Amino acid sequence: MSLLNTKFKYFTLFIIVTATLITSCSKDEVKVVTAQDEVSALQPVDTITKGNYSFYIFKKDTGDFVVGYNEVYIQVKNNATGKYVEDANLSWKPLMHMTSMSHACPYSAISKVANTNTLYKGYFIFIMASNSSEYWEIAYNYVNGNDTIAKVSNQVTVAASTGKVRYKSFKGADNISYFLALVEPSKPQVGTNDVKAYLYKKVDMLTFSPVENYTIQIDPRMPDMDNHTSPNNVNLTYDSFTQSYQGKVNLTMTGYWKINLIVQDASNTVLKGEAITGTTTASSIYFELEF
Amino acid sequence: MNKRILYAGIGLFSLQFAYSQQKTDSVRNLCLKEVIIIGKTGLGSKNEPKPMSSVDEYMEQQDRINLIKRGSYAWEPTINNMASERTSVTIDGMKIFCACTDCMDPVSSYVEVINLNKMHIASGIGGNPYATNSIGGSLDMKLYKAGFHKENVSASVNSGYETNGHYRILGGSLAYSNPSFYSNSGVFVRKSDDYRAGGGEEVQFSQFQKVNLMSNFGLRLSGNRAVEASVIYDVATNVGYPALTMDVKSAKGLITSLSFTKEELSPVFSKWETKLYFNTITHIMDDTKRPNVAMHMDMPGKSKTAGFYSTLQGRKTRHNFLLNLDSYYNQSLAEMTMYSKNPDEKPMFMYTWPDVRTLNTSLFAEDKYQFTARKFLQVSARLAVQHDRIRSDFGLSTLQIYYPGMSRFQNRLLWNVAAKYHYYLKNIQVKVGGGYGLRAPSSSEAYGFYLFNSFDNYDYLGNPQLKNESSWEGNLAFSATLGKLNVSLEGSCFYLNNYIIGKPDNSLTHMTLNASGVKVYRNLDHATILTSDLTVKQSFADYFIWTNKASYSLGRDDHNRALPLIAPVSYSSSLSFNRKQVYAELKLQGAAKQYKYSADYGEDQTPAYLIFGASAGYDFHLKTYNPKLKVGVENLFDRKYSTYSDWNNISRKGRNYYINLIINLL
């Protein structure tokens, strides 16, 4: 019996040692993530080099930027050292050069992507498409305190959105221009989906600010199925941490869904959108999902 | 009752039966409740006006059974005015579940008359060791097996033709028996075009065709042991459902079993049978032949069941007992894909049965205690555990929209008890019984997702939060014979708590185009169902029997409103003549206006009807073969009518002449 106990002790020790070795090995492997690994799932959009620095611009899908929500990823490389900058303080500014005037669009600050060393991200909500004589220009700025380390800019093509409607601009009952863009669900599924959207208003031609504490009512419908809808949807409310609107939409089957919207201000005054009734089959503002 | 005893007396093939008859003799005969003889013995018997009837038509002649008809094929039996959810239909004790969410393919549609020897009907709780989740009654269809006998080879050709719908029937069977081995096989084909309603109007999309193949084997081993196997393969194709918006492309059933029997285990235990079985049902709908389809849909469904039972029978002193351990595992999966008129849009897909897995294990015990030769008490009890699981994540997610946080699993404890006291005086028989039982919700009731019901034009949503439905039952049967007159009266009363039925939920929107709304299955506080039958039979002038039947049913919900699909007063009267090889019958059959129809549950009133029929038969005695010829006419005056259980009031067949010919070759 004691022999058995001794054997058991050795066996346990063996297991512990082996387990420790395996875990430490795998930890080592995790550490060797290169800058290239961090963007391996992304599509390169552009590389802009000026002085000692190169800006690498990526996004998740191929093709041009589109009118509406665009997520942009950035890496900055110091060409003198050959290393990617891990603590860059980055900012940007989009500007539409129209033939008669220029304007900006809603956009976020740039922040580090969690659990990466070299990757930064932000988004634009482009509000119009570019064309042969009118173009979007994005200026990137890398600063250290008051010193500008690098400043680059490039022109981008923004295509009109041809797919399902995920962006709407409208003039509210308060006569303010609003810009509403759907972020999630990016891959809708049958069942309950988290919804995330951004709502901005125009302050002036160059200033767009997130709107706080409004409510966006959602009413998902299937026009093909006698305007079938689902129960227990959760209207979008403002989340100050992400400065976005969040809620839940229930999809009872695959196919084409129209998410009818009503935007209400903080005092519940309807600014835009209509409730669905027997005669009103769709709201004037909506998103579309198809999967 | 007399007829049943007569049938039982004709001689039955199954070992079990022959055996028990020997043992308990007259009492056994009397306690046979409802047995429809179909198989070899019954087929072509003098008293059967239309031996090539479908299984549905056989069932329709029984007192407690009514059939819900959506076309001319695959009628859904109801017992005591209760349909599939509340009744049990088994084949030789095997559980089989339909693969169609709308029950367009009841279990009885996967068998043919040549597969069957008899049907055992039990009204209410109890009386059937193989019935699970049944409170309304049960139907066990016994397969025809050639059995172990002295060496014998037989073959027969069965054929039939009916003018209405150009309905053709052809079948053949071959059987071999010896004391230690038997085998019988058969093939059966039915094909019908659209039938015509009374007045001549064609009922479009009422065509069907089916092929049925079956084979049984038995091997007797030493020590009173036997091994038996059976296979049925049944395929119906191009089945029209005039009452529905779509038809069936194919309904396939493969039903297999292997059983081991040991007899005379000890002086107490007389028979022990253990059967393993597996069946798979596939049902594919088809709307491509319909004009003006608003939206094309694919709706396949499948149901697979594997299970076993082990039945031990015995007797000791005045006890005659039976124990049955029973377990089955069922997979029910049905999907729906809808195609938008806009070809650029992606198809709409959903599970209407989210791959529901049901494991049900039950223990049943029954004892018949004989006080005297004329008095005995029959008591039975069942305890079952049912475990449900939703296998499909997709399906679970959709149901969780309606029932946030709903679990993938569910366990239910189900049980029932029943007792019946039988008392036979010289000319009077009395049976008094009662029982209490629970049933779990069916797959559709618990997990069905937007199942469209064209009867009330609602989409139905299952409800996993349903409580078990329970039923208190009381029943009474009385029969008196005065000379050549026999009067029998039978009645059953059910008081159901947590009665499950769909109720409109105005907060939900329908999905099916032009549906009236969504109904969600709910538990009503209670409901009451009553059924009763009166039969008066008079024999006279040696060769004549005049049989009169009337039935009355009642169904009420907790607000005293009528329940749907409850039969109106119906009646029949037949005069039959039977002398030697000649058989003839005149029959009238009708129903009163359906006064107590259920407008609240989407039913409309069915008018009264009365139809007439006549039939005749002759058994030839030739040297080698003995052909049996039957001819008849149904709905003689070509009345246009429909019954309360005709889905969406589709008209029944108009005048129909038929001929059945059975030739025994060997």
B106 upstream amide cis, omega within 30 of 0: no
The pLDDT assigned to B29 comes to: 35
The pLDDT assigned to B293 comes to: 87
User: CA B426, B429, B433 angle in degrees (round to 5)?
Assistant: 150
Length reported for chain A: 291
DSSP B611-632: EEEEEEEEE---SS---EEEEE
The pLDDT assigned to A234 comes to: 97
The pLDDT assigned to B549 comes to: 95
Structure tokens at B503: 């109720």
Length reported for chain B: 666
Q: What residues in chain B have their Cβ under 8 A from chain A's Cβ atoms?
A: 295, 338, 340-342, 345-350, 394, 396-398, 400-402, 404, 449-450, 507-515
CB pair distance less than 8 Å for A190 and B402? no
Residue A88 has pLDDT above 50, yes or no: yes
State which residue of chain A sits closest to B346, comparing Cα positions.
Answer: A255
Strands (DSSP E) found in B317-347: 319-339
Residue B14 has pLDDT above 50, yes or no: no
Match 């400065």 to its residue by tokens. Answer: A243
Q: Residue type for A242, please? A: T
The pLDDT assigned to A19 comes to: 57
* Domain range for A176: 167-290
Q: What is the distance between the alpha carbons of residues B400 and B433, in angstroms, rounded to a whole number? A: 43
Residue B36 has pLDDT above 80, yes or no: no
A-chain residues near B510 (CB < 8 A)? 226, 228
Phi-psi region of A34 (alpha: psi -120 to 50; beta: other; left: phi over 0): beta
* CA-wise closest residue to B651 among B619, B616, B617, B607: B607
Indicate whether A242 and A199 sit together in one domain: yes
Average confidence (pLDDT) over B409-438: 95
Indicate whether A39 and A155 sit together in one domain: yes
Strand partners, A106: none
The pLDDT assigned to B63 comes to: 81
Q: What is the distance between the alpha carbons of residues B632 and B659, in angstroms, rounded to a whole number? A: 7
Q: Which of B33-42, B433-442, B619-628 has the lowest mean pLDDT?
A: B33-42
pLDDT digits (tens, 9 = 90+) for B626-649: 888 999 999 999 999 999 999 889
Instruction: Determine, yes or no, domain membership for A17.
Output: no
A14 φ, ψ to 5°?
-60, -45
Q: Which of A142, A159, A176 is the last residue of a domain?
A: A159
Instruction: Determine, yes or no, domain membership for A153.
Output: yes
The pLDDT assigned to B62 comes to: 82
Chain B: closest CA distance from residue A291 (Å) = 7
The pLDDT assigned to B5 comes to: 35
pLDDT digits (tens, 9 = 90+) for B76-109: 999 999 999 999 999 999 999 999 988 889 999 9
Indicate whether A178 and A283 sit together in one domain: yes
Q: Does A133 or B360 have the greater pLDDT score? A: B360
CB pair distance less than 8 Å for A190 and B394? yes
Q: What is the distance between the alpha carbons of residues B110 and B233, in angstroms, rounded to a whole number? A: 8
Strand partners, A170: A178
Residue B197 has pLDDT above 60, yes or no: yes
Indicate whether A152 and A225 sit together in one domain: no
Give the number of other CB atoms < 10 A from CB of residue B201. 11
Crossing angle of helices B2-10 and B15-31, in 10° steps, is: 160
Indicate whether A66 and A154 sit together in one domain: yes
Indicate whether A198 and A279 sit together in one domain: yes
Indicate whether A124 and A185 sit together in one domain: no
Mutate to test the interface with B, among A226, A227, A234, A277 (most CBs of B within 10 A): A226
Q: Does B418 or A86 have the greater pLDDT score? A: B418
Cβ atoms of B341 and B295 within 8 Å: the answer is yes
Cβ atoms of B135 and B437 within 8 Å: the answer is yes
Mutate to test the interface with B, among A225, A281, A289, A290 (most CBs of B within 10 A): A225
Average confidence (pLDDT) over B344-365: 96
Instruction: Determine, yes or no, domain membership for A1.
Output: no
* CA-wise closest residue to B269 among B305, B226, B322, B228: B322
pLDDT digits (tens, 9 = 90+) for A94-133: 999 888 898 999 999 999 988 888 899 999 999 999 998 8
B-chain residues near A164 (CB < 8 A)? none
Q: Hey, what CATH topology would domain B2-513+530-664 get?
A: Maltoporin; Chain A (2.40.170)
* Percent of the residues in chain A that have a pLDDT greater than 70, as a whole number: 89
Structure tokens at A82: 């050959």
Sheet holding A102-103, edge to edge: A102-103, A89-97, A135-144, A147-156
β-pairing verdict for B94-95 and B116-123: unpaired
The pLDDT assigned to A87 comes to: 85
Instruction: Determine, yes or no, domain membership for A216.
Output: yes
CATH number assigned to the domain comprising residue A186: 2.60.40
Residue A5 has pLDDT above 80, yes or no: no
Which ranges of B332-469 does DSSP label H, i.e. alpha helix? 393-402, 443-447
Q: Which of B11-20, B199-208, B406-415 has the lowest mean pLDDT?
A: B11-20
Which residue in B346, B398, B514 is closest to A226 by CB distance? Answer: B514
pLDDT digits (tens, 9 = 90+) for B414-428: 999 999 999 998 899
List all residues 6 or more positions away from B344 whose beta carbon is below 8 Å from its beta carbon. none
Indicate whether A91 and A133 sit together in one domain: yes
pLDDT digits (tens, 9 = 90+) for A139-168: 988 887 777 888 888 888 999 888 899 999
Residue A232 has pLDDT above 90, yes or no: yes
CB pair distance less than 8 Å for B338 and A192? no
Q: Residue type for B337, please? A: T
Task: Return the SS3 of B56.
Answer: helix
β-pairing verdict for B87-91 and B656-664: unpaired
* CA-wise closest residue to B231 among B132, B111, B130, B147: B111
pLDDT digits (tens, 9 = 90+) for B258-295: 999 999 999 999 999 999 999 999 999 999 999 988 88
Q: Which of A159, A182, A209 is the last residue of a domain?
A: A159
Total domains in the fold of chain A? 2
The pLDDT assigned to A8 comes to: 59
Instruction: Determine, yes or no, domain membership for A71.
Output: yes
User: CA B47, B618, B18 angle in degrees (round to 5)?
Assistant: 40
Task: Return the SS3 of B26.
Answer: helix
Question: How high is the mean pLDDT of chain B?
Answer: 90
Q: Does B310 or A20 have the greater pLDDT score? A: B310
Sheet holding B87-91, edge to edge: B34-37, B116-123, B137-143, B87-91, B94-95
Q: Domain map of chain B by residue range?
A: 2-513+530-664
Q: What is the number of alpha carbons within 13 Å of residue B594 lying toward its C-beta? A: 24
Residue B366 has pLDDT above 80, yes or no: yes
Q: SS3 string of B376-405? A: EEEEEEEEEEEEEEECCHHHHHHHHHHCCC
List all residues 6 or more positions away from A206 whose beta carbon is below 8 Å from its beta carbon. A95, A103, A104
Indicate whether A120 and A202 sit together in one domain: no
CATH number assigned to the domain comprising residue A46: 2.60.40.10
Indicate whether A146 and A99 sit together in one domain: yes
Chain A: closest CA distance from residue B174 (Å) = 51
Instruction: Determine, yes or no, domain membership for A7.
Output: no
Residue A1 has pLDDT above 60, yes or no: no
The pLDDT assigned to B117 comes to: 86
List all residues 6 or more positions away from B553 whose beta carbon is below 8 Å from its beta carbon. B81, B529, B530, B531, B532, B566, B567, B568
List all residues 6 or more positions away from B292 whose beta carbon is below 8 Å from its beta carbon. none
pLDDT digits (tens, 9 = 90+) for B218-233: 999 988 999 999 999 9
The pLDDT assigned to B19 comes to: 33
Q: Tell me the Cα Rg of chain B.
A: 24
Q: What is the distance between the alpha carbons of residues B85 and B88, in angstroms, rounded to a whole number? A: 8
Q: What is the distance between the alpha carbons of residues A138 and A136, in angstroms, rounded to a whole number? A: 7
List all residues 6 or more positions away from B218 whose beta carbon is below 8 Å from its beta carbon. B145, B146, B147, B148, B181, B182, B183, B226, B227, B228, B229
Question: How high is the mean pLDDT of chain A?
Answer: 87
Which residue in B340, B350, B401 is closest to A224 by CB distance? Answer: B340
H or E element that contains A25: helix A2-31
Strand partners, B202: B196
Q: Which of A118, A133, A159 is the last residue of a domain?
A: A159
The pLDDT assigned to A10 comes to: 66
The pLDDT assigned to B35 comes to: 63
Indicate whether A147 and A83 sit together in one domain: yes
pLDDT digits (tens, 9 = 90+) for B454-464: 889 999 999 99
* Percent of the residues in chain A that have a pLDDT greater than 90, as a whole number: 55
Q: What is the distance between the alpha carbons of residues B401 and A257, in angstroms, rounded to a whole number? A: 16
Q: Does A157 or A9 have the greater pLDDT score? A: A157
Indicate whether A184 and A286 sit together in one domain: yes
pLDDT digits (tens, 9 = 90+) for B296-309: 999 999 999 999 99
* Percent of the residues in chain B that have a pLDDT greater than 90, as a whole number: 77
The pLDDT assigned to B167 comes to: 96
Residue B30 has pLDDT above 90, yes or no: no
